[in-house]
Structure 1
Amino acid sequence: MTPLVELVGAGYAYEDGPAVLSDVDFAIAEGRALVLLGRNGSGKTTLMRLLSGGLRPASGALRLEGEEVGYDRRGLTRLRTTVQLVVQDPDDQLFAASVEQDVSFGPMNLGLPEAEVRERVDSALAALDITALRDRPTHLLSYGQRKRAAIAGAVAMAPRVLILDEPTAGLDPDGQERLLDVLARLRAAGTTVVMATHDVDLAVRWADEAAVLTPCGIRVGAAPVLLSDPELLASAGLRMAWSPTVTAFLRAHGFLGADAPGPRVPEALGALG
């Protein structure tokens, strides 16, 4: 099956600097929950910006459903109506006076009819559970509300792929759970979600697939398997997650069968009794 979005032999270096990414082959399959992990400076942000069109590969190509992306107005419009990136700090993304104005900016910029813009805004606000905040000035929102408003602006573009840079950073536990509920609803509605994070526990719990950026390149695979590899995680400057560590302990002591899935969160331990 042709990947929805794919980098082929892609490389990128910032001006007067060494290559951040070299000869990268990286694909996003539709319908998956994919997590990106790696130490600071490993190239996660560069990779996300290449995938969303914010940067253009210095070598190689970006393909959308098998067709190479053109970096003219037509090509970028096609890409950005398919792939949306939400940056880590919502204050870098929110700029309009009110939540509704901010969320409506992207659809209006596409030249959509007013009725469709209104429908997209209503749908995005409802998806992020912030309908009650539509008239709220953005500067009066809490940090968690600003995070959700920034994501709503991307969702209003009706992307097939939503890329989130550290979406749970700065949120308290309740805020994290609410955001994960939102992402689950978006996935159920057909959106492919890609999340960059340093939280290996979150990655194991949430993702189907993982991409780990190491000094030797990108390793991609099933999240529960890839994120159980201590050598791989150490090479990426990451610690072992709780879930695979506890699962290995339970199996070693006969509390869990070899083929039985291990607990993904501490609360699940009770069910094993």
Structure 2
Amino acid sequence: MSEAAALVALRGASFAYEDGPAVLTGLDFEVRKGRALALLGRNGSGKTTLMRLLSGGLRPHAGQLTVDGTPVSYDRKGLTRLRTTVQLVVQDPDDQLFAASVAQDVSFGPLNLGLPDAEVRARVEEALAALDITGLADRPTHLLSYGQRKRTAIAGAVAMRPRVLILDEPTAGLDPDGQERLLATLDGLRASGTTVVMATHDVDLALRWADDAALLTPSGIRTGPAPENLSRTELLREAGLRLPWGIAATELLRGQGLLNDGATGPRTAEQLAALAGPRR
């Protein structure tokens, strides 16, 4: 993959926390425009460190972070440019929300950019609409449900109009309806031009949602098309992950002659049911 093809990239990046072993060493990793990317690996594999390096929360001890092929400078100007390009939403929304109301929280980032009040209001309205929480604008954040807090945290990132949105376990703690609504929201953000990166332990979700899957293993990171990487049993084992049920179902259907080799296998239970034909 050429540098020109990478929207955001780490080149030869290494990082270790103080008095600790190296978490990442000589890492080459890139986020490609328009590709939904799932980031997977066992606990302690470096997913959180990688996300924080991409968003500027951490600085690599060696190597560099680039945006559109240009190295990021870690002065105020460079970090402002980075944070209008990449936004990270952490797993627990309570670590990110702090203002009294939803609208106030979502407005924090644009206000810090020094934007005119009218522009800030427009961005807040746009972000609330994108996350389907316009009706919660004046709601105190401490009265929100967990799913509403998740959406508010994401809206705060969306209000910055980033080109890359990185989400750490965004569906964790949500009920099935909440997960479906969030995935529909992410589809809408992607359609509007935002490139989405999702860290998750859920291999079934990654297979269903992602174009590409990046698996962090002790021997390095392996990135490729999601259906291909998530069907490699040895790679999955090295990453501490299991085989997605959709891959197993596809192999079974093909083995029984119920699915042609070139046909795409089911990624959801609904797709599997559809292959089975009308229910009586």
TM-score normalised by length of structure 1: 0.99
- 1:16 corresponds to: 19
Aligned with 1:182: secondary structure?
helix
Cross-structure match for 1:146 = 149
Number of the residue aligned with 1:68: 71
Aligned match of 2:59 = 56
Partner of 2:116: 113
Which one of 228, 235, 239 corresponds to residue 236 of structure 1?
Answer: 239
SS in 2 for 1:20: strand
Given the two structures, how large is their TM-score scaled by the length of structure 2? Answer: 0.97
Deviations 1:33-88 (A, max 9, x none): 00000000000000000000000000000001000000000000000000000000
Q: 2 CA distance for matches of 1:164 and 1:67?
A: 24
CA distance in 1, matches of 2:180, 2:102: 22
Please, which moves more after superposition, 261-270 or 192-201?
Answer: 261-270
Cα distance per residue 1:169-221 (max 9 Å; x no partner): 00111110010010000000000000000000000000000100000000000
Post-superposition offset of 1:99: 0.2
CA-CA distance at 1:106 after TM superposition: 0.2
4+ residue runs over 6 A deviation:
none
Letter of the 1:143 partner, please give it.
Y
Q: What is the aligned partner in structure 1 of residue 270 from structure 2?
A: 267
Q: Answer yes or no: is 1:176 the counterpart of 2:215.
A: no
Secondary structure, aligned partner of 2:166? strand
- CA displacement, residues 80-117 of structure 1 (integer Å, 9 cap, x when unaligned): 00000000000000000000000000000000011110
Q: Distance in 2 between matches of 1:123 and 1:241?
A: 36
- Counterpart in the other structure of 2:37: 34
2:136 corresponding residue in structure 1: 133
TM-fit CA distance, 1:267: 1.1
1:6 has 2:32 as partner: no
> Following the alignment from structure 1 to structure 2, what is the Cα–Cα distance between the partners of residues 3 and 103?
29
Task: Measure, in 1, the Cα distance between the counterparts of 2:42 and 2:201.
Answer: 8
Distance 2:136 2:76 in 1: 33
CA–CA distance in 1 between the matches of 2:124 and 2:268?
34
**Structure 2 counterpart of 1:252:** 255
Distance 2:264 2:78 in 1: 44
Identity of aligned residues (%): 74
Tell me the distance in 1 between the aligned counterparts of 2:76 and 2:5: 24
Give 1:159's aligned residue: 162
> Which residue number in structure 2 is paired with residue 99 of structure 1?
102
Equivalents in 2 of 1:185, 1:242: separation in Å? 26
Match of 1:88 in 2: 91
- Matched to 1:31, the amino acid is G
Match of 1:44 in 2: 47
Helix, strand or coil: the match of 2:6? coil
**What count of residue pairs does the alignment treat as equivalent?**
273
In 2, Cα distance between equivalents of 1:225 and 1:231: 12
Provide Cα deviations, 1:221-266, integer angstroms capped at 9, x if missing partner. Answer: 0001100111111111111101110000100110000000001111
Q: In angstroms, what is the RMSD of aligned CA positions?
A: 0.6
Counterpart CA distance in 2 for 1:30 and 1:116 is 26
SS of residue matched to 2:28: strand
Structure 1 unpaired stretches of 5+: none
What is the CA–CA distance in structure 2 between the aligned matches of 1:42 and 1:49, rounded to whole Å? Answer: 14
